[in-house]
Chain A
Amino acid sequence: MVAIRIENLTKIFKAIAGSTIAVDDLSLEVHEGEFFTLVGPSGCGKTTTLRIVAGLETPTHGNIYFDGDRVTELPPQKRNVSMMFQNVALFPHMTIAQNIGYTLRIHKIPRTEIEKRVKNVAEMLGIADKLKMKPGQLSGGQRQRAALGRAIVGETGILLMDEPLSSLDAKLRAEMRTEILRVHRRINATIVYVTHDQVEALSMSSRIVLMKDGKCQQIDTPAGLFNKPTNVDVATFIGTPSMNVLSGRVIRKDERMGVEFLGATLPLSDEAASRLDDTQNVLIGIRPQLLRLRAKRESAQDIPVTIDVIEPLGVEQQVSVKPEYGPEITVVREEASDFKEGGVGYLSFEYKNAYIFDDESGQTISFTL
């Protein structure tokens, strides 16, 4: 197990048309044995960061340390890491056994030892009967297992994974997610995992860094990212469907502060009020699961809406509603369908379940109203 430290990492890709900053002054630490995930929208620099850790790209500035040793200039061959690639990248002309054992052969491990270790890994991953086949003869899931096998057979201290599951269908992806977690528990490796899928990130990781435009937005545990997002970007990226973000305005009425949005005025808690100025513009974030949609108005603060689209999701249903003022709002509700598209409903929520973000910087101001 190896700890990784990334220090002031910057990567600029120069091109004739102009340069792009892929990674912008990123610093973070991955603890040994951790399952650490880099997540973010495409183009956020997460894959570039991983490739720099692997040694496949050289950073423009900054350093990489493995267990305190600087490895910034080391080529990939000398870093003693293993990697799983987005497109599997099994060697098409070699058998599965040769693919898995390739790294052992390069490191001049005796043949009998190679055979034994390849067999062990293949059995662990349930592909022992496929060892004599070529990658082209395997299904997508089996190829994925073989690629995982090739990555773990060398018993390197660091295992890098670049969106390894993105080419699989939903069912296989869930299966492989479990497989990777199972493998992580059995081997002694620090895993750095890259994905754009926040569900994958939340369900697998010990800790997550959320990146956007090459910058670190937040490093936290899955629960921390979900419950305490540092800004509106993190809040909307994490969670499905995305958090509803509505613009509002702080007002003062009879020494009490409140926030006005969607045509209603809601009082602010003392804690939230202490961090806000009068007449400040803010963004209000509410998760779709924490909104209530009822057929009857039960309180003066309920917001009347028109039901736009109803999408059944099995147990739950996702409803898009349109208030009189403001943008479309998504609600996820467990109740059986008693609404019709085009009908009328009333929206309410508990104040403690809403976030307040700064209108300009997007930074979180308060975790409740």
Chain B
Amino acid sequence: MTRRRLQTIVIYVGIIFVVLVMGFPLYWMVKTSVEPPTTLFSPPYSYIPTTFSGENYRLLLFETYFPTFLKNSVIVAFFCTLISAVVSVLAGYGLTRFEFPGKKLIARGTLFSYMFPPLMLGIPLYIIFDSLGLRNTYVGLVLAHASIGIPLGTWIMWQYFQIVPKSLEEAAWVSGASRMRTLREVVLPIATPGIITVSTFAFAFSWNDYTYAKIFQDDITMFTVTTGINSFVERTAVHWGLIQAGATLITIPTLIIIVFLQRQLLESMAVGGLK
């Protein structure tokens, strides 16, 4: 009894500690963003904001390239998600349902390729993109992001399709449905949680990526939100207010996804053995 209570206390203390360590920077980010820029460097610093101001957000949205960064990020993340989802679903389906030599090796290899650090792929990709004229383009960055999203997505879908009984497809075929129609009307609806997971991972990677965006895009009008915020660190000044306001804004989409899709994500992670 007391032992169990002690255990609970230890667990809770641990949770509180982790939440504080992870949460405090986020709190500080939001706090700084809503305070007037003038209070930033005027001690004493309080933990609770005393004066509120939208000045940082006004500056960010009307005096900087931030809206362009946001547009670039949305476009790149959207197409990266779309391409990753479509390719992963088809590749994952192929890996589960067709027999060909080296199948298992390819399936496992996709996960292996996901484990390459982006920086390592960045340099060869830079050389390739440079010679193809893909630097400072959406196509280049979308492809670079998809090169991470597709292997992981394919692996997740490979795992997911294995739990969709083959007899469901066979029942549809015998009923007269073609393979593509069966995929559309029978397999995909059942694999929806898997597709949501793949899309979320692809979106999150693309949205949060700094490395590729930094390597391939050197024109400020092609910056994404991550490299864009970095541009607020100037040689002579660091615009903390802008940085924190920008960081707060770009956290919102991720937060929404986590809140609404948590259940599906956990479900399909359990399937993929990721949990």
Which A residues lie at the B interface, using CB under 8 A? Answer: 54-56, 75-77, 79, 81-83, 85-87, 89-93, 102-103, 106-107, 150, 154, 160
Contacts and interface: CB of A to CB of B under 8 A. Distances in A.
Given A89-B168, A103-B175, 14 more contacts: A55-B174, A76-B170, A76-B174, A77-B174, A79-B174, A82-B174, A89-B170, A89-B171, A91-B171, A92-B190, A102-B172, A106-B177, A106-B181, A160-B174
Given A92-B190, A93-B189, A77 B165 contact: no
Contact of B170 (A85, A102, A103): A85
B177 A81 contact: no
B168 A76 contact: no
Interface residues of B, number: 16
Given A86-B167, A93-B189, A93-B190, A76 B181 contact: no
Interface of B: 165, 167-168, 170-178, 181, 186, 189-190
A54 B172 contact: no
A86 B170 CA distance: 12
Contacts of A55: 173-174
A77 B171 CA distance: 10
Nearest first, the 5 A-B pairs at minimum CB distance are: A103-B175, A89-B167, A106-B176, A89-B171, A93-B189
A352 B168 CA distance: 51
A85 B186 contact: no
Contacts of B178: 77
Contact of B173 (A75, A86, A90, A92): A75
A12 to B, nearest CB: 14
B170 A56 contact: yes
Nearest to A102: B175
A106 B182 CA distance: 11
B212 to A, nearest CB: 37
B167 A81 contact: no
A76 B176 CA distance: 7
Given A87-B165, A92-B190, A93-B189, A154 B170 contact: no
21 contacts: A54-B170, A54-B174, A56-B173, A76-B174, A77-B176, A77-B178, A79-B174, A81-B174, A82-B174, A82-B175, A85-B167, A86-B167, A87-B165, A89-B165, A89-B167, A89-B171, A90-B171, A91-B190, A93-B189, A102-B172, A160-B174
